[in-house]
């Protein structure tokens, strides 16, 4: 959401690039190092016997820590992605244990600026002819009623303060009739992020995972497909598929969210 506000003229493609850069494994790893959280990770599996043994009985210690054997007992070995996963889990723990506001404050402390700025970006086209706000409002309201957008407000039982956003949400990039607002691409970017957030929240708080998506792999058209199945609180099983485990789990949560709304 912060990116939507921070870059008011950026299209959905650029916003996606900015998003991936901010939440990339490399950036999260960098934040873990900067905040000195790296050393708190417990990563190594204890090996009691064999050449990879790294366990010492109580009271024993390694004198030469810098030796090859000593390093095995004194240092952990983990990939950078492990630390980025740790940061993501830390954020999740904050959200479950506290609330949205506290989690946002914590993410700011980490260096992830996710809360929007105060000023709402304009949804109007940048090349719209200069005119007064009253004239723009009159044009928008006329277009709003001509295209029967008021029927949508009646349907959802909600009245938009700014009609331009509702118009933009239903404007395809190929449409030329609407010369007032941008198309729905930027709002789609925002809505997709919100849907992901609430889908994952629902999955954690209300749904019980039936299996791990990474453990269920099929091949369709010679391409591997990950499958995740979640069990809703009413016992209904919902399946999600994707090119990897994360996307499969996300799609399963989305389907479960849709079913829960219909019940």
Domain ranges of the chain: 2-110, 133-181, 206-262
pLDDT given at position 256: 78
Buried b (16+ CB within 10 A) or exposed e, 227-242: bbbbebeeeeebebbb
DSSP state of 76: -
User: Alpha-carbon distance 160 to 129, whole Å?
Assistant: 24
Exposure string for 154-165, b = 16+ CB within 10 A, e = fewer:
eeeeeebeebbe
Would you tell me the crossing angle of helices 80-97 and 25-34 to the nearest 10 degrees? Answer: 80
Task: Say if residue 77's pLDDT is above 60.
Answer: yes
Distance CA(102)–CA(94), nearest Å, equals 8
Tell me the pTM: 0.54
Rounded CA separation 246/235 (Å) = 23
Torsion of CA 197, 186, 108, 198, to 10 degrees: -10
Chain centre to alpha carbon of residue 113:
14
CA distances (Å), origin 176, targets 10, 39, 198, 238: 20, 56, 33, 40
C-alpha–C-alpha distance, residues 79 and 81, integer Å = 5
Q: How confident is the model at residue 97 (pLDDT cuts 50, 70, 90)?
A: confident
- Token duo for residue 38: 């790296």
Among 8-12, 21-25, 32-36, 194-198, top mean pLDDT goes to 32-36
Q: Can you tell me the mean pLDDT for 1-14?
A: 76
Which H helix or E strand runs over 176? none
Of residues 232 and 18, which shows the higher confidence score? 18
For residues 231 and 112, the model is more confident at 112
Question: What is each CA distance from 44 to 25, 48, 202, in whole angstroms?
Answer: 20, 12, 32
Report yes or no: 75 and 54 within 8 Å, Cβ to Cβ. Answer: no
Residue 215 pLDDT greater than 50, yes or no: no
Among 49-63, 111-125, 173-187, 200-214, which stretch is predicted with the lowest mean pLDDT? Answer: 200-214
Which CATH code, of 1.20.120, 3.40.50, 3.30.160, 3.10.28, is assigned to 206-262? 3.30.160
Q: Half-sphere exposure of 123 toward its Cβ, with a 13 Å CA cutoff? A: 21
């Amino acid at each position: 959401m912060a990116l939507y506000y921070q870059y008011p003229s950026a299209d959905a493609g650029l916003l996606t690039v900015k998003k991936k850069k901010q939440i990339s494994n490399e950036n999260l790893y960098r934040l873990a190092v900067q905040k000195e959280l790296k050393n708190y990770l417990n990563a190594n599996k204890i090996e009691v016997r064999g050449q990879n043994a790294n366990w010492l009985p109580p009271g024993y210690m390694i004198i030469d820590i810098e030796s090859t054997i000593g390093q095995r007992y004194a240092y952990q070995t983990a990939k950078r992605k492990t630390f980025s996963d740790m940061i993501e889990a830390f954020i999740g723990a904050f959200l479950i244990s506290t609330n949205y506001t506290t989690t946002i404050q914590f993410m700011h402390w980490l260096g992830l600026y996710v809360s929007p700025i105060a000023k709402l970006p304009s949804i109007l086209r940048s090349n719209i002819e200069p005119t007064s706000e009253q004239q723009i409002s009159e044009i928008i309201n006329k277009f709003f009623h001509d295209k029967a957008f008021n029927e949508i407000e009646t349907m959802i039982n909600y009245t938009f303060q700014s009609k331009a956003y509702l118009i933009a949400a239903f404007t395809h990039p190929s449409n030329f009739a609407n010369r007032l607002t941008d198309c729905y691409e930027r709002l789609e970017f925002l809505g997709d992020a919100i849907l992901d957030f609430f889908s994952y929240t629902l999955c954690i708080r209300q749904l019980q995972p039936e299996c791990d998506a990474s453990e269920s792999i099929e091949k369709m058209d010679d391409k591997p497909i990950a499958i995740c199945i979640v069990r809703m609180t009413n016992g209904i099983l919902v399946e999600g598929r994707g090119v990897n485990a994360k996307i499969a789990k996300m799609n399963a949560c989305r389907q479960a969210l849709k079913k829960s709304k219909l019940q």
